[in-house]
Amino acid sequence: MVVPDAVALREPAHRVSPRAVAYWRVSSLLSLLVIVAVATAVYLFWHPWPWYALAGTGALLVWELVNLAVMPTLRYRIHRWEVTPIAIYTQSGWLNRNQRIAPLSRVQTVDTREGALMRLFSLSSITVTTASAAGPVVIDCLDRDTARQVVAELTEITGASEGDAT
Amino acid sequence: MSEPPGDLQPVAQPDGGWQRLDARMLLVGPVRTLWQLLLPALVTLFGIGRATSDMPNWLIPIVLLGPIALGTLPWLTTRYRITESQFEKHSGLLNKQRLVAPLDRVRSVDLEASVLHRVMGLTKVQVGTGVDSTRIVLDSLSHSQAEQLRLTLLAASARRTTGPTTQSATAPGAEQPGAEQPGAEQPDPRQPAAPEVALGGVPTAPFSVPPTTSSPQLLATLDWSWLRFAPFSLTRLAVVLGAIGAFLQLGDNLRLITQDRVGAALHWVIGFAIPVLLVVGSVAALAGWVVLAMAGYALQWWDLRLVREAGTVRMTAGLLATRSTTVEESRIRGVQLSEPLLLRMVKGAELAALATGVGSGGVSKLLPPCPRSVAEQVGQSLLDAGPALRIPVIGHGPRARRRCHVQAQLRGLLLTAVLLAAPLYLNPQWWRWGAAAYALVIVAAVIAAELTFANLGHALTPRHLVSRYGATVRTRVALERQGIIGWVLDQSFFQRRAGLADLRATTAAGAEQVVIRNVPYAVAVALADQATPGMLTPWVGAPSGRHRR
pLDDT tens figures, B439-457: 999 999 999 999 999 999 9
What residue of A is the nearest CA neighbor of B133? A133
Q: Is A163 on the interface with B (CB under 8 A)?
A: yes
Q: Give yes or no for A109 touching B (CB within 8 A).
A: no
Of B64 and B48, the one with more pLDDT:
B64
Contact B486 A84 (CB under 8 A): no
Say if residue B338's pLDDT is above 80: yes
Q: Which of A6, A96, A101 sits opposite B536 (nearest CB)?
A: A101
Contact A131 B164 (CB under 8 A): no
- The mean pLDDT value for B56-62 works out to 70
More confident of the two residues B392 and B41: B392
Query: Do residues B353 and B380 make contact, with C-beta atoms less than 8 angstroms apart?
Result: no
Q: Does A137 touch chain B (CB under 8 A)?
A: yes
The verdict on a CB contact (< 8 Å) between A135 and B513 is yes
CA distance B466 to B395: 12
Within an 8 Å CB–CB cutoff, is residue A98 touching chain B? Answer: yes
pLDDT (0 to 100) of residue B369: 93
- Residues of chain B above pLDDT 90, percent: 30
Q: How far is CA B433 from CA A101, B218, B429, B437, in A?
A: 50, 58, 9, 6
CA distances from B307 to A35, B146, B214, B222, B516 (A): 61, 18, 11, 12, 32
Lowest mean pLDDT among A70-74, B158-162, B322-326, B503-507: B158-162
CB contact under 8 A, B541 and A103: no
* Å between B330 CA and nearest CA of chain A: 10
Q: Pick from A15, A99, A131: which is nearest to B549 by CB?
A: A15
Q: Which residue of B has its CA nearest to A107?
A: B485
Q: Cβ–Cβ of B547/A13 closer than 8 Å?
A: yes
Report the alpha-carbon distance of residue B298 to residue A85 in Å, rounded. Answer: 55
Radius of gyration, alpha carbons of chain B: 28
Instruction: Report the pLDDT averaged over residues A137-147.
Output: 91
Residue numbers in A near B330 (CB within 8 A): none
Those residues with Cβ within 8 angstroms of residue B219's Cβ, 6 or more apart along the chain or in another chain: B206, B207, B306, B307, B308, B313, B378, B381, B382
Residue A16 DSSP symbol: -
Q: Would you place residue A135 in the very low, low, confident or very high pLDDT band (cuts 50, 70, 90)?
A: confident
Strands (E), B51-159: 79-82, 86-91, 97-102, 106-113, 122-129, 135-142
Residues in chain B: 549
Q: In one letter, which amino acid is B503? A: L
* Start-to-end C-alpha separation, chain B: 42
Q: Cβ of B508 and A5 within 8 Å?
A: no
- What ipTM describes this predicted complex? 0.90
| Alpha carbon distance B105, B153 (integer Å) | 10
B161 Cα to chain A: minimum distance (Å)? 10
3-state secondary structure of B368: strand
Pairing of strands B312-317, B322-328: antiparallel
pLDDT at residue B38, as a whole number: 73
| B485/A135 touch (CB, cutoff 8 Å), yes or no | yes
- Which member of B394, B509, B542 has the closest CB to residue A8? B542
Question: Once rounded to an integer, what is the mean pLDDT over residues B186-199?
Answer: 37
CA distance B454 to B435: 29
Element containing residue B397 per DSSP (H, E):
helix B397-426
A86–B538: do the CB atoms touch at under 8 Å? yes
Single-letter residue type at B273:
A
d(CA B147, CA B192) in angstroms, rounded, equals 11
CB–CB contact B486 A103 (8 Å) = yes
| Confidence band for A149, pLDDT divided at 50, 70 and 90 | very high
User: Who's near B54: CB < 8 A, 6+ residues apart?
Assistant: B48
Chain A hits for B534, CB-CB cut-off 8 Å, are: 86
Q: Over 50: is that where the pLDDT of B459 sits?
A: yes
User: Is 80 exceeded by the pLDDT of residue B400?
Assistant: yes
Whether residue A166 and residue B526 make contact (CB cut-off 8 A), yes or no, is no
Q: Which residues of A touch B529 (CB under 8 A)?
A: 7
A9 contacts chain B (CB < 8 A) = yes
Q: Which chain B residues are closer than 8 Å to A84 by Cβ? A: 538
Query: Which of B413 and B1 is assigned the larger pLDDT?
Result: B413
Mean pLDDT for all residues in chain A: 88
Q: For the segment B88-147, what is each residue's pLDDT rounded down to a tens digit?
A: 888 887 778 888 888 877 888 889 888 888 888 899 998 887 655 567 888 888 888 898
Q: How far is A83 from chain B (nearest CA, A)?
A: 11
Q: What is the pLDDT of residue B182?
A: 37
Q: Which of A11, A97, A132 is opposite residue B485, by nearest beta carbon?
A: A132
Residue B3 has pLDDT above 80, yes or no: no
Across the interface, whether the CB atoms of A135 and B486 are under 8 A apart is answered yes
Which of the two residues, B217 and B48, has the higher pLDDT score? B217
A48 cis-preceded (ω within 30 degrees of 0) = yes
Report how many Cβ contacts below 8 Å link chain A to chain B.
154
Q: Beta strand pairing status for A14-15 and B457-460?
A: unpaired
Q: Give the residue among B528, B531, B549 at the shortest CA–CA distance from B539.
A: B528
pLDDT at A68: 92
**DSSP string covering A39-82, please?**
HHHHHHHS-SPPHHHHHHHHHHHHHHHHHHHTHHHHHHHH-EEE
Alpha-carbon dihedral of residues B391, B397, B402, B403, nearest 10 degrees? -70
Nearest to B377 by CA among B518, B206, B493, B181: B206
Residues of B in contact with A4 (CB under 8 A): 522, 526
What is the distance in angstroms between the Cα of A108 and the nearest Cα belonging to chain B? 11
Strand partners, B467: B458, B477
Residues 6+ apart with CB under 8 A from A127: A109, A110, A111, A112, A113, A136, A137, A138
Beta carbons of A15 and B525 less than 8 Å apart: no
The stretch B183-212 carries a mean pLDDT of 37
Nearest-CB residue to A134 (from B506, B542, B543): B506
Q: How confident is the model at residue B238 (pLDDT cuts 50, 70, 90)?
A: confident
CB pairs under 8 A, 24+ apart, for B238-244? Answer: B239/B296, B240/B289, B240/B292, B240/B296
Smallest CA-to-CA distance from B474 within B503, B453, B447 is with B453
For B488, name the nearest residue in chain A, comparing CA atoms only: A100
Q: What is the pLDDT of residue B128?
A: 83
B319 touches B252 (CB < 8 A): no
pLDDT reading at A65 higher than 90: yes
Mean residue pLDDT across chain B? 78
* Other residues' Cβ atoms within 10 Å of the Cβ of residue B19: 16
Pairwise CB contact (< 8 Å): B522 & A8: yes
Q: What is the mean pLDDT of residues B17-35?
A: 84
Mean pLDDT value across residues B469-488: 92
